Homo-oligomer: A and B are copies of this chain.
Amino acid sequence: MDTALDRAVRVFRERGYHATSIGDLTAAMRLATGSVYKAFRDKHAVFLAAFERYTTLRQQQTSNAAARGANGRERLRNVLLSYVEHSRGSEGRRGCLVVGSAVELSAVDPVVGARVNAQLKTNENFIAGLIREGLADGSIPRHVDVEDTARLMICITQGLRVVGKARLPLDGERLVDVAMKLLA
């Protein structure tokens, strides 16, 4: 069942919510129509489950990226690098469910809107935490503002997904080197 949900995630990422018919879903999930409606109330419920699965998986991936860093600054750098890598190439073209949901559904679907909002805040808090770690261990200068820098970095990460979906080439090392100036 979780593997079916993973396939649903993939379809929703590629095509978005409205362009994904339940025919597309059943084909991708390798389930019949009836079976999908036995497991989920409706298409909206499938999407919500896919959204949750996607965000928990992504959370793990960025946490792992952060873990490979000796201090706050390095952990933050690794997170940014991880974001660029996920926004590049075929994975980037596949898209981000959070960005997709924000753009396509946030304004018209209050339930999805609330989840997107919560997820962005979670991500922002995670980055803010890394900045605070850097302030504490001395790898980030004292005068850096935590909230403002974290919010701008969220903008960068979300923007990376948009630009990656549009197939502009992204060079991780170079972009991150520029972005790290925000911690000067």
With most chain B CB atoms within 10 A of its CB, the pick from A19, A95, A149 is A19
Map CB proximity to B onto A125-164 as digits: 1 under 8 Å, 0 otherwise.
0000000000000000000010011011011111111110
User: Distance (Å) between the CB of A25 and the closest chain B CB?
Assistant: 15
Map CB proximity to B onto A5-22 as digits: 1 under 8 Å, 0 otherwise.
000000000111011000
User: Distance (Å) between the CB of A178 and the closest chain B CB?
Assistant: 5
Residues of B within 8 A of A162 (CB): 99, 102-103, 155, 158-159, 161-162
Whether A117 lies near B166 (C-beta < 8 A) is: yes
Secondary structure at chain A's binding surface: helix, strand, loop or mixed? helix
Whether B14 lies near A107 (C-beta < 8 A) is: yes
Map CB proximity to B onto A97-114 as digits: 1 under 8 Å, 0 otherwise.
001101110111000010
Q: How often does this chain occur in the complex, in copies?
A: 2
Whether B103 lies near A178 (C-beta < 8 A) is: no
With most chain B CB atoms within 10 A of its CB, the pick from A14, A94, A145, A159 is A159
User: Distance (Å) between the CB of A80 and the closest chain B CB?
Assistant: 10
Whether B167 lies near A106 (C-beta < 8 A) is: yes
Would A108 and B19 be within 8 Å (CB), given that A156-B152, A178-B148, A181-B184 are in contact?
Answer: yes
Whether B175 lies near A151 (C-beta < 8 A) is: yes
Whether B107 lies near A104 (C-beta < 8 A) is: no
- Chain B's closest residue to A174 (CB) is B148
Other than the known A18-B19, A161-B162, what 12 A-B pairs have Cβ atoms closer than 8 Å?
A14-B108, A15-B108, A16-B18, A18-B18, A95-B103, A103-B103, A103-B162, A104-B104, A106-B165, A106-B167, A117-B166, A154-B159
